[in-house]
Structure 1
Amino acid sequence: MNNYARIKSNIAVDVSTDPASQFHPAIAAEFEAVPGEVQRGWRLDEDGTWLAPPAPEPFEPAEPESQRPKVGPVEFKLLFTSSERLTLKELRNTDAALADFFEIIEDPRLQYVDLSLGSTAAGVDHCLSLLINAEIITESEADTRREQILSGTLL
């Protein structure tokens, strides 16, 4: 059986046994005779030898990034220690950003707090900054507390 291929940049882009019956005449005219084993995707090297493309690598799904959990609003508040919660409650009267963050957390329509959201992380960062200023936690403790809170780790 004769094979014909349309070759572009030394690659068989179309292969057919009868290009005249399968392609428009202008395209069929571009086909050349090739060995019977040549298939679409084969490459013609500089020595005139047809080479099959390398076998595709087996698909291995990437390791999923660890997803942060979603927690209920009360559970979210419990991620802060008692002294942290009391200090933040007091500071809500003077810090509009903190008040806004906890208004969202306390909205009765909120079913869960997604700890993977950037806005949640920004709110937690703001809380921790206020707790550092209030000397409830130290700057060196802030990174650990941030990870504990955003990972949903209850103390």
Structure 2
Amino acid sequence: MNEKQRINIIRVAQGKNSTLSHLYIGGLFCCYLLEDSIRKEKIQGLTCIPEGEYRLRLNPWAGMNAQYGVKYPKVHRGMLEITGIPNFDLVFIHIGNYHTQTAGCPLTGSYWQRLDGDYQVLHSAAAYKYVYPLLVGEMEKGNNRIVVENRV
């Protein structure tokens, strides 16, 4: 896959219990992401997904789907799920502000701040409404791979 088509999560900063990342589509910055800590050993609900290349798909049957269908009825077609992650399942790109809301999922944000040694993202819903159709559009073009890299 060439760089112009690539979807990347680039981890750029680490807090005590959180990791701040950037989401790029085709080399363009789209939003911030908040994840749990990077750990060598997975701890259920407290570890971000490991570096690697994974697949994106729309998941219209998971529990969060009904809630997002009501919140975003004009655009929602299923949760943005990252699949093929060893020891992880039902990993969604979704809204939230604090590492305590991630449970291993990337949370979208328009801005970030660091308080008490941890990162949080702000204006999460606005970022989600922006990146959701972009990612769905990429998947419709056959670009359903996402690459996760640690740069911290």
> Greater share of strand residues, 1 or 2?
2
- Bucket of the pairwise TM-score, normalised by the shorter protein: under 0.3
> RCO higher in 1 or 2 (8 Å CA, sep ≥ 6)?
2
> Greater share of helix residues, 1 or 2?
1
TM-score, structure 1 as length reference:
0.23
Q: Which structure would you say has the larger Rg?
A: 1
